[in-house]
Structure 1
Amino acid sequence: MADIPVYNAKDVVLTLGNIVIQGFQDGDMISYTIKEDRVQTEVDAQGIPSIAINNNRLGQVTINLSGNSASHKYLNSLANANKIVPIVIKTKNEKITGNQAIIAKPADGQFGKQTPKRTYTIEVLDMDVQVVA
Structure 2
Amino acid sequence: MADSGINMYDAKDVTLTVDGVVIQGFQDADMITYSFKEEQVRTSVDAQGVPSLAKNNNHLGNIVINLSGNSKSHKFLNNLANTRKVFPIVIKSDLEKVSSTQCIIAKPADGAFGKDTPKRTYTVEALSMEVTAL
Output the TM-score relative to the length of structure 1: 0.97
Aligned 1:20-35 pairs, distance under 5 A: 20-35=22-37
Question: Equivalents in 1 of 2:129, 2:87: separation in Å?
Answer: 13
The answer to whether the Cα contact below 8 Å between 1:107 and 1:118 also exists between their aligned partners in 2 is: yes
Q: Report the Cα offset of residue 104 of structure 1.
A: 1.0
Q: Which residue of 2 aligns with 1:74?
A: 76
- How many residue pairs match? The answer is 132
Q: Deviations over 1:23-62 (max 9, x none)?
A: 0001100000001000000110111110000000000000
Query: What is the match of residue 114 of structure 1?
Result: 116
AA partner of residue 15 (structure 1) = T
Q: Is the 8 A contact 1:66 1:117 kept in 2?
A: yes
Find the aligned partners of 1:113 and 1:67 in 2 and give their Cα distance. 12
Matches of 2:108 and 2:92, distance apart in 1? 24
Cα displacement (A) at 1:6: 1.1
Residues 1-133 of structure 1: pairs in structure 2 closer than 5 A: 1-3=2-4, 4-132=6-134
Identity of aligned residues (%): 62
Mapped to 1, the partners of 2:92 and 2:114 lie a distance apart of: 32
Partner-residue secondary structure (3-state), 1:104: strand
Contiguous gaps of at least 5 residues in structure 1: none
Q: CA RMSD in A?
A: 0.7
Take 2:84 and 2:32, find their aligned partners in 1: how far apart are those partners?
21
Moved over 4 A (4+): none
Distance 2:90 2:38 in 1: 20
Structure 2 regions of 5+ residues with no counterpart? none
Are 1:80 and 1:105, in contact at CA under 8 Å, matched by a contact in 2? no
